């Protein structure tokens, strides 16, 4: 099970949990599993098959540019952080 | 910018005739470092631009028999500060010439142009005032003389009437045991408009310990460059010391009536008058006592 | 108005003639009419020095010169600094010393620096910084530019 | 003669035995750039080229009631006039344009205002004419009717209830891309991170320091104004000659704004006269394109300098509150940050990196960060070198310095005690891989500058640390191996500071040949694979990686050719130091190149990379200065920049990045700021009054490169471009404190500000 760290503003979705576990070998699968457990999660993270604007997903401390196709391992740790928009 | 006519007369008479004919439509072009920007930005308008750089009198440095110097109205700054004799006789003027814009500006800009642009912050005007310069003005009615301190009348305005032009700046012979210095304060070390400027000229009495005569002029603290008369008078006969100069600076502050703008708040400018008058007087003193008269590179503390 | 004026001048040793409007700057004519695009427009206001050329041997901001004023003048641009086979020592030192990054200010710096060394072969660091203060560079922080001018001054001594 | 150039101290990694990397070849594009032959955006000359000009709003906030262009169109010499009416309607479409999401409606409305102008200088209309003088005359003939609206330019004012709203419908993103606030406001985004129990930790802390800081709007200040040339062919093919940090990004932005297929747009990157983040967004490209379509001629538009200051994206003004707590030993236990950045006219500023960078240099257990992006009536802020990081570093490094004072600890020792290291978890989540902050701090502590005494009145020394990411993103490269043993390299990263050479050197190292034997070309969008922007300190890292992959492909193809010559298996052919060998056979790279055409033809290789994840760069700066207490003017006396740069491919250009970034930071710290009047008009849109440092304002900038290898690059490369601008304001503020005992909490530390602080403090000379 991969561990997902939930940022404060999303914690009301997880009933206050700061950390949740989920299955899935790609970000797409992982998020849809999360969405069944915590409805609304997918809407927050994914916008038309891309990571939502302004967001970045860090998998095992590596921010992926592969969006929902990014690979997730059994024991991956996932963080949801701001994108460096304009920050280039 | 709107297009305009360009004429480059070879004599003063031709120039004056053109200027008189065209009146307010005409603008004189010397170094162009102000007027070209102003035309481009629509701050001034012109249908005719009269380039005076083909007129010999306006491009010459003429030493008179009395030892004084006539500086042609369009002589560029770099000519002045590359002339050892000018540096030695009128160091505050070469101080100014060396810091008006960068080298590329000094290759074109002239003291006459700086004066006729009549900016309250002009770097050369306080120097011309303390060195006792007089404007030689040619016009349809012939020639007239105006002391530099009476030339500017308001920001961007001066005593020139339609058809008149500045021909040259006449400097009196440099006196014995005298020295002068121009200093300005700017946030950078170069390429900036004076937040406040001060020109100081001193003649020392026997033994070089007392001030026999002092002249002080300020820029960027009034609608025009001004003379700090009360401080000048106060200095007469005073010991030539840091204390006197500090006191003179405090008195000079009273002459200042600056505005607040993006280049500095009014009270700060008034404060700077005291600092710069003191520093300029110190510089002038050093030179009156035989110190180096070459323009000082304005980098580092206390040099601006 | 809009009437073109005929101007004869000398640029980089070659006699040239051109037609211009009175309002056109020397920079405009050098770049667009004479297609010498080495001189750059950075501010069109005399504040950045990217358009520096030599006029009768003196550095000027060509954006603050009217093209008509070039009548009878001798002009030199960055294109004239190297000769047929060789770069000028300043150009060599700018390259070896990595004194340029984006390179847009480089032509102006080279023209000013050449005028400086021609008149003053051994300037101090302070003199170099002062005489180049009319040229702005935003990439290098000036360190490598000043060192390149110092290196060129040494190299020019050696060849003499 | 290179000794004249006095190169940096380089602290090498023990494992380093490269042949080409670390040398200093002359850049490949060098001769063109010192002879004036290089073609920059404004040097493009085309048959029938005409010139354009932009009409800009005199109002800082107004509704556009009408625009009448008829007189301008009738003006002799005018060929076309355009307004936003000529742009397609984009609704509220968000596009991911390589460097992050962009609201296309905002992007288009910033190129030409739609129903409202949101800042003084906002582009409203454009004219194409026979020459620029006629075009500018025509601008005066365009009649625009404005209904002025109340303005707000201050970030805190804009956050208040009842502040004038720039975007009536703007609802704050409470989660990026997610939940929104109910009521509209000027706040476009709110970022929030919390870790541990900050309240309790502050209770327990031995010393707590809390301070508020403000900074003003500053501009990247590149010397080349924005310029674009467009030709819209009768067949619908649009060609754009651009001065851009990313030709592919410019292509995407242009095609999206004009709603034409990417395949119809070709962007030809010209040499670029500086960017620093400011030449990522487009401003002129679609405008020149529409004008060209209307008049059937190629149209070039170059911005005026005041257009650049007033109409392009500077970096935000900010308000910051920082609170830090330490225990008796000086260990930072808790930190709190409240940050508000103005984004200018449209949403989407740089608060994201701001909140990620604020405590990024330190290992802090309990932390609480709030960050806000706030719209105001100023130009739309954009990236400027380590965007968002310099602000927070100024604030945090000032507070850290104050903690060191109160603890009576050496400021570098305090930073060493708390420095982030491999395994440290940033407040926003990610855990650091191998980083070099500790090594950089130690190098600073041991540097002659830090050890040498500083004497004289009103003189002080300050240090500060800084952090920035290196991003990865996509890069492609193609190479053709020539019979003479040279290699032509096509890459898509526009070269702002010598990257052609730093990329070529990585290919040369891979192939065991000289850097001069690589002939790099920055190719247009039709001629090379997709490559993201030049920015994010990524080019030498990511495009370099592509070049390395190309090199590997070349080697494996050439092994097969060698195998043909020697009638052996390619797998048995060895390659090292530029020599192919098998048994007693051996042949050099060059010799084998000469035989390629007879063994199956010349070789082409290509690579396209998308390295995952960013690494990090840390810098530590030391500054000595003197304050003229009578005027408040600060003079920098000595300056040293140290940085964990990974492997320095071309050390001269790494030094150049450190020096250039430092001086930009010095300008930001001392004099640079946008000054506005009450109408929201910028008072100083010239290079005379927007005071960037001149050569006379700064000393030599001493540099130290610490080569802590980046584990995610074969040569250990880290990006170095951005970090150097981060520490200067903090280092200078700390030096001013040590010089005159006054802590400056507002940037810039300009003479009037410093002088009034001295006067208020009572130590003043006046």
Say whether residue A88 is in contact with chain D using an 8 A CB cutoff.
Answer: yes
Confirm or reject contact between C135 and chain D (CB < 8 A): yes
| Domain with B260 in it | 178-288
Q: What is the architecture of the domain spanning D42-150+222-311?
A: Alpha-Beta Complex (3.90)
Q: Please name the residues in contact with C3: beta carbons below 8 A apart, sequence gap of 6 or more.
A: C21
Q: What are the C-alpha distances in Å from A74 to residues A78, B181, D252, D431, D581?
A: 11, 79, 37, 18, 44
Q: Residue D707: pLDDT above 90?
A: yes
Residues in Cβ contact with D584 at an 8 Å cutoff, skipping those fewer than 6 apart: none
Neighboring chain B residues of C133 at a CB cutoff of 8 Å = 102, 189-191
Specify the pLDDT at position D765: 41
Residue spans of the domains in chain A: they are 2-82
Structure confidence by residue, pLDDT tens digits, B170-229: 999 998 899 999 999 999 999 999 999 999 999 999 999 999 999 999 999 999 999 999
Q: Which chains touch B (3 or more CB pairs under 8 A)?
A: C, D
Q: Which of A64-73, D356-365, D720-729 has the lowest mean pLDDT?
A: A64-73
Q: State whether residue C22 sits within 8 Å of chain B by CB.
A: yes
Average pLDDT in the D355-375 region? Answer: 96
Nearest to B37 among C23, C45, C52 (CB): C45
Q: Is the Cβ of C33 closer than 8 Å to some Cβ of chain D?
A: no
Are D42-150+222-311 and D475-609 in the same CATH fold?
Answer: no
Q: Which residues of D touch B273 (CB under 8 A)?
A: none
Predicted local distance difference test score (pLDDT) of residue A84: 63
Q: Among B166-170, C153-157, D532-536, name the one with the lowest average pLDDT.
A: D532-536
pLDDT average, residue stretch D396-419: 98
Tell me the C-alpha distance between B116 and D263, whole Å.
Answer: 59
D370 touches chain A (CB under 8 A): no
- Contact predicate D459/D626, CB 8 Å: yes
Q: Are residues B128 and B220 in the same domain?
A: no
D640-677 per-position pLDDT tens digit: 999 999 999 999 999 999 999 999 999 999 999 999 99
Q: Which residues of B touch C47 (CB under 8 A)?
A: 191
Q: Which residue of D has its CA nearest to A12?
A: D179
Instruction: Give the pLDDT score at D766.
Output: 39
- What ipTM, to 2 d.p.? 0.95
| Contact state of D35 with C98 under an 8 Å Cβ cutoff | no
Q: Please name the residue of chain D whose CA is at the shortest distance from the CA of residue B303.
A: D628
Q: Are residues B93 and B185 in the same domain?
A: no
CATH annotation of D475-609: 3.30.365.10
Q: Is residue A53 less than 8 Å (CB to CB) from chain D?
A: yes
Sheet containing D116-117, strands listed edge to edge, beginning at the edge strand earlier in sequence: D116-117, D62-68, D143-148
In terms of C-beta distances under 8 Å and separation of at least 24 residues, what long-range contacts does A9-17 make, across chains too? A9/D174, A9/D175, A9/D178, A9/D179, A9/D190, A9/D192, A10/A41, A10/A44, A10/A80, A10/D175, A10/D178, A13/A38, A13/A39, A13/A40, A13/A41, A13/A44, A14/A38
Instruction: Please give the domain boundaries of chain C with CATH numbers for all domains.
Output: 5-79 (3.10.20.30), 89-159 (1.10.150.120)
The whole-number pLDDT of residue D178 equals 59
Question: Average pLDDT in the C128-148 region?
Answer: 98
Alpha helix segments (H runs only) across D419-543: 437-445, 448-451, 499-511
Do the beta carbons of residue B111 and residue B93 sit within 8 Å? yes
Query: Residues B16, B120: one domain?
Result: yes
Q: Which of residues 57-96 of C touch B (CB under 8 A)?
A: 58-61, 64-66, 68-69, 71
- Contact residues on chain D for B193, CB-CB shorter than 8 A: 688-689
Q: How far apart are CA D126 and CA D721, in angstroms?
A: 35
Counting Cβ atoms within 10 Å, is residue B229 exposed (0-12), middle (13-18) or buried (19+)? middle
Q: Which two three-digit tokens encode residue B94?
A: 């070469």
Shortest Cα–Cα distance, D431 to chain A (Å): 6
Q: Is D270 exposed, middle or buried (0-12, 13-18, 19+ CB in 10 A)?
A: buried
Minimal-distance CA residue of chain D relative to B188: D697
User: Last residue of some domain: B171, B192, B208?
Assistant: B171
Write down the pLDDT at residue D182.
83
Helices (H), chain B: 12-22, 35-40, 77-81, 84-89, 91-97, 103-106, 111-117, 125-130, 229-235, 242-253, 266-288
Verify whether the Cβ–Cβ distance B108 to C44 is below 8 Å.
Answer: no
Instruction: Tell me: do B218 and B97 sit in the same domain.
Output: no
Percent pLDDT > 90 in chain C is: 95
Say what angle helices D728-740 and D389-407 make with each other, to 10 degrees: 30
Q: What is the pLDDT of residues C74-118, one digit of tens each?
A: 999 999 999 999 999 999 999 999 999 999 999 999 999 999 999
8 A C-beta contact, residue B170 and residue B112: no
- Among B175-179, B228-232, D236-240, the minimum mean pLDDT is found in B175-179
Q: Does B49 sit within 8 Å of C66, measured CB to CB?
A: yes
Find which of D98, D175, D426 to mutate to test the A interface (most A CBs within 10 Å of its CB).
D175
Strands D101-103, D94-96: pairing is antiparallel
pLDDT for residue A64 = 77
Whole-number pLDDT of residue D759: 94
Q: Are residues B147 and B26 part of one domain?
A: yes
* Residue that is last in its domain, among B147, B171, B195: B171
Q: Please choose, from the candidates D425, D58, D523, D136, the residue with its C-alpha nearest in 3D space to the C-alpha of residue D302.
A: D136
CB contact at 8 A, B184 and B98: no
State mean pLDDT over B120-144: 97
DSSP for D336-387 reads EEEEEEEEETSS--SHHHHHHHTTTTB--SEEEEEEEEEE-SS------SST
Question: How many structural domains comprise chain B?
Answer: 2
Chain D's closest residue to A41, CA to CA, is D178
Q: φ and ψ at C80, to 5 degrees?
A: -95, 0
Which CB contacts under 8 angstroms, 24+ apart, belong to B206-210? B208/B177, B208/B240, B208/B288, B208/B289, B209/B239, B209/B240, B210/B237, B210/B238, B210/B239, B210/B240
Phi-psi group of D278: left, alpha or beta (phi > 0 → left; psi -120 to 50 → alpha; rest → beta): alpha
Using CB atoms and an 8 Å cut-off, which of residues 644-673 of chain D contact chain B?
670-671
Give percent above pLDDT 90 in chain B.
95
Residue found by looking up tokens 């002239």 in the block:
B110
What are the φ and ψ backbone dihedral angles of D587, each rounded to 5 degrees? -150, 140
Could you tell me which chain B residue has the CA closest to the CA of C53? B104
Q: For residue D630, what are its two tokens?
A: 């009578």
Q: Within 13 Å and on the Cβ side, how many CA atoms surround C73? A: 24
Helix locations, D460-619, DSSP H: 499-511, 544-566, 589-595
Closest residue in D to B278 (Cα–Cα): D630
Strand spans (E) along D471-547: 475-481, 487-491, 518-522
Is the pLDDT at D543 greater than 60? The verdict is yes
| B83 has pLDDT over 80 | yes
Contact C23/B2, CB-based, under 8 Å?
Answer: yes
Residue D107, token pair as written in the block: 């992007």
Residue of D nearest to C134 (CA): D694
Selected residue with higher pLDDT from A5 and D257: D257
What is the rounded end-to-end Cα distance, in angstroms, of chain A? 34
Mutation site, D39, D223, D314, interface C, largest C CB count within 10 A: D223
CA distance A54 to D510: 38
Interface touch D473/A65, C-beta < 8 Å: yes
Q: Do C69 and B53 touch (CB under 8 A)?
A: yes
User: Domain D1-16+426-471+613-766 classified CATH 3.20.20.20?
Assistant: no
Flag if C66 and B32 touch (Cβ within 8 Å): yes
Is the pLDDT higher at C83 or at D14? Answer: C83
Which residues in chain C touch residue B190, judged by CB atoms under 8 angstroms apart?
130, 133-134
Per-residue model confidence (pLDDT) at position D404: 98
D536–A84: do the CB atoms touch at under 8 Å? Answer: yes
Q: Do residue D194 and residue A87 have CB atoms under 8 angstroms apart?
A: no
Q: Percentage of chain B surpassing pLDDT 70?
A: 99
Q: How far from the centroid of its chain's Cα atoms is residue D60's Cα?
A: 27
pLDDT in tens, C38-50: 999 999 999 999 9
Is D430 in contact with A64 (Cβ distance < 8 A)? no
Annotated domain spans of chain D: 1-16+426-471+613-766, 42-150+222-311, 475-609
The mean pLDDT of D358-380, rounded to a whole number, is: 97
Residues B193 and B245 in one domain: yes
Q: Measured in whole angstroms, how far is the alpha carbon of residue D74 from the centre of its chain?
A: 42
Is a pLDDT exceeding 60 seen at residue D98? no
**CB hemisphere CA count around A49 (13 angstroms):** 1
State the pLDDT confidence band at D292, using cuts at 50, 70 and 90: very high
**Minimum-distance CB partner of C138 among D4, D222, D686:** D222
D37 Cα distance to chain centroid: 26
pLDDT in tens, B38-70: 999 999 999 999 999 999 999 999 999 999 999
> Which residue out of C1, C6, C22, C39 would a mutagenesis test of the B interface target, given it has the greatest number of B Cβ atoms within 10 Å?
C22
Instruction: Average the pLDDT over each of B121-135, D466-480, D558-572 and give the range with the smallest value.
Output: D466-480
Short-list B224, B162, B202, CA closest to B283: B202
Per-residue model confidence as pLDDT tens digits over B238-282: 999 999 999 999 999 999 999 999 999 999 999 999 999 999 999
Among B124, B143, B171, which residue terminates a domain? B171
Judge if B108 and B254 occupy the same domain: no
Contact state of C133 with D694 under an 8 Å Cβ cutoff? yes
- Average pLDDT over every residue of D614-634: 94
> Does the CB of A57 have a partner CB in chain D at under 8 Å?
no
Residue D2: pLDDT over 50: no
Look at residue B262 and tell me if it is in a domain: yes
The CA distances from residue B34 to B37, B68, C46, C53, in Å, are 5, 28, 9, 19
Q: What pLDDT shows up at residue D348?
A: 85
Mean pLDDT of C141-153: 98
- Is the per-residue pLDDT at D271 higher than 60? yes
pLDDT band of D700, cuts 50, 70, 90: very high
Q: Which one of D5, D29, D45 has the shortest CB-CB distance to C151? A: D5
pLDDT band with cut points at 50, 70 and 90 for residue A88: very low
pLDDT for C1: 45
Question: What is the nearest CA distance from C117 to chain D, expressed in angstroms?
Answer: 17
Q: Which of A15-19, D163-167, D530-534 has the highest mean pLDDT?
A: D163-167
Which chain B positions have a beta carbon within 8 Å of C60's beta carbon?
Answer: 104, 107-108
Classify A2-82 by CATH class.
Answer: alpha beta
SS3 of B206-270: the string is HHHCEEEEEEEEEECCCCCCEECHHHHHHHCCCECCHHHHHHHHHHHHCCCCCCCECCECHHHHH
Q: Three-state secondary structure along D716-735?
A: CECCCCCHHHCCHHHHHHHH
| Per-residue pLDDT at A87 exceeds 60 | no
Indicate the pLDDT class of residue D96, thresholds 50, 70 and 90: low
Q: Which of C44, C139, C155 lies at the smallest CB-CB distance from D305?
A: C44
Q: What is the CATH number of the domain that holds B148?
A: 3.30.465.10
Residue of C nearest to B297 (CA): C130
pLDDT at D1 over 50: no
* pLDDT reading at C69 higher than 70: yes
- Inter-residue contact D216 to D317 (CB < 8 Å): yes
Residue D534: its pLDDT value, please? 85
Q: Which of D133, D302, D695 sits opposite C146 (nearest CB)?
A: D695
Q: What is the pLDDT of residues D411-462, one digit of tens each?
A: 999 999 999 999 999 998 888 988 999 999 999 999 999 999 999 999 999 9
Q: Is D498 exposed, middle or buried (0-12, 13-18, 19+ CB in 10 A)?
A: buried
Averaged pLDDT for residues D541-565: 95
Instruction: Tell me, yes or no, whether B99 and B158 share the same domain.
Output: yes
Interface list for D 210-269 with C (CB within 8 A): 220-225
Q: Is residue C66 less than 8 Å (CB to CB) from chain D?
A: no
């Amino acid at each position: 099970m991969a561990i997902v760290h939930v940022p404060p503003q999303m914690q009301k979705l997880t009933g206050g949990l700061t950390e949740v576990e989920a299955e899935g070998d790609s970000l797409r699968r992982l998020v849809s599993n999360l969405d069944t457990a915590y409805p609304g999660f997918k809407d927050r993270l994914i916008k038309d098959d891309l990571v939502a604007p302004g967001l970045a997903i860090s998998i095992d401390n590596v921010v992926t540019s592969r969006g929902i196709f990014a690979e997730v391992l059994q024991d991956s740790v996932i963080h949801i952080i701001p994108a460096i928009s304009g920050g280039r | 910018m709107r297009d305009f006519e360009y004429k480059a007369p070879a004599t003063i008479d031709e120039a004056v005739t053109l200027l008189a004919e065209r009146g307010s439509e005409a603008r004189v072009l010397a170094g162009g470092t102000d007027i070209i920007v102003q035309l481009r930005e629509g701050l001034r308008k012109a249908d005719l631009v009269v380039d005076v750089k083909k007129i010999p009198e306006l491009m010459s440095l003429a030493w008179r028999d009395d030892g004084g110097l006539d500086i042609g109205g369009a002589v560029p700054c770099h000519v002045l500060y590359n002339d050892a004799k000018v540096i030695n006789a009128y160091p505050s003027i070469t101080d100014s010439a060396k810091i008006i814009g960068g080298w590329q500006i000094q290759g074109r800009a002239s003291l006459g142009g700086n004066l006729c642009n009549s900016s309250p912050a002009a770097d050369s005007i306080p120097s011309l005032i303390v060195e006792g310069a007089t404007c030689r003005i040619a016009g349809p009615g012939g020639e007239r003389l105006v002391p530099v301190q009476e030339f500017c009348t308001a920001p961007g305005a001066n005593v020139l009437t339609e058809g008149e032009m500045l021909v040259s700046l006449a400097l009196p012979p440099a006196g014995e045991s005298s020295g002068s210095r121009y200093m300005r304060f700017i946030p950078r070390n170069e390429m900036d408009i004076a937040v406040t400027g001060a020109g100081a000229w001193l003649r020392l009495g026997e033994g070089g310990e007392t001030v026999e005569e002092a002249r002080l002029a300020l820029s960027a603290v009034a609608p025009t460059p001004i003379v700090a008369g009360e401080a000048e008078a106060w200095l007469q006969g005073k010991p030539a010391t840091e204390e006197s100069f500090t006191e003179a600076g405090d008195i000079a502050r009273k002459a200042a009536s600056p505005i607040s703008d993006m280049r500095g708040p009014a009270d700060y400018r008034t404060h700077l008058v005291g600092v710069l008058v003191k520093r300029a007087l110190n510089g002038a003193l050093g030179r009156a006592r035989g110190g180096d008269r070459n323009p000082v590179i304005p980098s580092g503390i206390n040099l601006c | 108005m809009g009437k073109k004026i005929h101007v004869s001048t000398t640029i980089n040793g070659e006699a040239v003639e051109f037609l211009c409007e009175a309002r056109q700057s020397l920079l405009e004519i050098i770049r667009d009419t004479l297609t010498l695009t080495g001189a750059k427009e950075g501010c069109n206001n005399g504040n950045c020095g990217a358009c520096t050329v030599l006029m009768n041997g003196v550095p000027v901001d060509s954006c603050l010169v009217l093209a008509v004023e070039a009548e009878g003048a001798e002009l030199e641009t960055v294109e004239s600094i190297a000769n047929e086979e060789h770069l000028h020592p300043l150009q060599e030192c700018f390259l070896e010393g990595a004194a340029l990054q984006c390179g847009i200010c480089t032509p102006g710096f080279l023209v000013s620096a050449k005028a400086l060394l021609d008149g003053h072969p051994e300037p101090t660091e302070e003199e170099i910084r002062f005489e180049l203060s009319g040229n702005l560079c935003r990439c290098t922080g000036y360190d490598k530019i000043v060192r390149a001018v110092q290196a060129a001054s040494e190299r020019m001594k050696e060849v003499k | 003669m290179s000794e004249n150039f006095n190169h940096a101290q380089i602290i090498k990694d023990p494992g380093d035995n490269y042949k080409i990397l670390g040398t200093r070849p002359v850049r490949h594009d060098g001769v063109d750039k010192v002879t004036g032959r290089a073609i920059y955006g404004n040097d493009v000359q085309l048959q029938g080229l005409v010139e354009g000009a932009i009409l800009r709003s005199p109002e800082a906030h107004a509704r556009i009631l009408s625009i009448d262009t008829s007189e301008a169109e009738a003006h002799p010499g005018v060929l076309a006039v355009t307004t936003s009416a000529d742009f397609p309607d984009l609704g509220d479409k968000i596009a991911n344009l390589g460097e992050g999401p962009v609201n296309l409606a905002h992007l288009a409305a910033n190129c030409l205002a739609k129903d409202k102008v949101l800042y003084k200088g906002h582009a409203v209309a454009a004219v194409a004419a026979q020459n620029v003088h006629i075009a500018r005359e025509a601008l005066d003939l365009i009649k625009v009717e404005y209904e002025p609206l109340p303005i707000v330019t201050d970030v805190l004012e804009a956050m208040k209830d009842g502040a004038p709203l720039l975007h009536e419908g703007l609802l704050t993103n409470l989660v990026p891309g997610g939940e929104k606030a109910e009521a509209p406001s000027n706040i476009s985004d709110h970022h929030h991170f919390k870790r541990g129990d900050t309240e309790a930790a502050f209770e327990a802390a031995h010393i707590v320091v809390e301070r508020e800081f403000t900074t003003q709007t500053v501009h990247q200040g590149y010397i080349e104004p924005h310029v674009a040339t467009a030709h819209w062919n009768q067949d619908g093919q649009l060609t754009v000659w651009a001065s851009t940090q990313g030709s592919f990004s410019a292509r995407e932005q242009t095609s999206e704004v004009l709603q034409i297929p990417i395949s119809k747009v070709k962007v030809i990157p010209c040499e670029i006269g500086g960017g620093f983040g400011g030449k990522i967004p487009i401003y002129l490209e679609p405008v020149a394109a529409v004008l060209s379509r209307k008049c059937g001629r190629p149209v070039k538009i170059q911005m005026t300098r005041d257009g650049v200051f007033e109409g392009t994206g500077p970096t935000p003004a900010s308000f910051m509150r920082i609170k830090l707590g330490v225990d008796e030993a000086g260990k930072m236990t808790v930190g709190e940050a409240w940050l508000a950045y103005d984004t200018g006219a449209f949403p989407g500023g740089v608060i994201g990196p701001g909140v990620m960078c604020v405590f990024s240099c330190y290992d802090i257990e309990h932390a609480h960060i709030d960050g806000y992006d706030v719209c105001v009536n100023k130009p739309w802020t954009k990236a400027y070198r380590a965007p968002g990081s310099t602000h927070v570093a100024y604030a945090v490094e000032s507070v850290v310095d104050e903690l060191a004072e109160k603890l009576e600890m050496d400021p570098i020792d305090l930073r060493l005690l708390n420095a982030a290291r491999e395994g440290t978890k940033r407040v926003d989540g990610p855990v650091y891989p191998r980083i070099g902050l500790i090594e950089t701090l130690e190098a600073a502590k041991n540097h002659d500058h830090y050890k040498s005494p500083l004497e004289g009145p009103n003189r002080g020394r300050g240090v500060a640390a800084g952090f920035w990411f290196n991003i990865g993103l996509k890069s492609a490269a193609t190479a053709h191996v020539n019979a003479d043993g040279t290699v032509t390299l096509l890459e898509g990263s526009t070269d702002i500071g010598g990257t052609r050479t730093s990329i070529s050197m990585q290919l040369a190292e891979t192939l065991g040949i000289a850097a001069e034997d690589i002939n790099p070309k920055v190719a247009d969008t039709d001629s090379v694979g997709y490559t993201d922007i030049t920015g994010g300190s990524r080019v030498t890292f990511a495009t370099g990686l592509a070049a390395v992959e190309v090199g590997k492909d070349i080697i494996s193809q050439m092994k097969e050719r060698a195998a043909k010559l020697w009638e052996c298996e390619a797998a048995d052919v060895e390659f090292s130091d530029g020599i192919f060998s098998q048994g007693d056979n051996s042949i050099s790279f060059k010799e084998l190149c000469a035989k390629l055409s007879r063994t199956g033809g010349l070789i082409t290789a290509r690579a396209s990379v998308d390295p995952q994840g960013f690494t990090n760069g840390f810098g530590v700066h030391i500054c000595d200065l003197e304050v003229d207490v009578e005027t408040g003017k600060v003079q920098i006396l000595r300056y040293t920049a140290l940085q964990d740069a990974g492997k320095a491919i071309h050390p001269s250009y790494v030094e150049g990045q450190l020096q250039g970034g430092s001086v930009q930071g010095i300008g930001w710290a001392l004099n640079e700021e946008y000054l506005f009047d009450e109408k929201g008009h910028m008072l100083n849109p010239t290079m005379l009054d927007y005071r960037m440092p001149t050569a006379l304002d700064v000393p030599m900038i001493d540099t130290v490169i610490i080569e802590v290898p980046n584990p995610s690059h074969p040569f250990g490369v880290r990006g170095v471009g951005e970090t150097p601008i981060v520490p200067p304001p903090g280092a200078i503020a700390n030096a001013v404190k040590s010089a005159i005992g006054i802590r400056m909490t507002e940037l810039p530390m300009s003479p009037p500000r410093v002088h009034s602080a001295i006067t208020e403090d009572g130590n003043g000379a006046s």
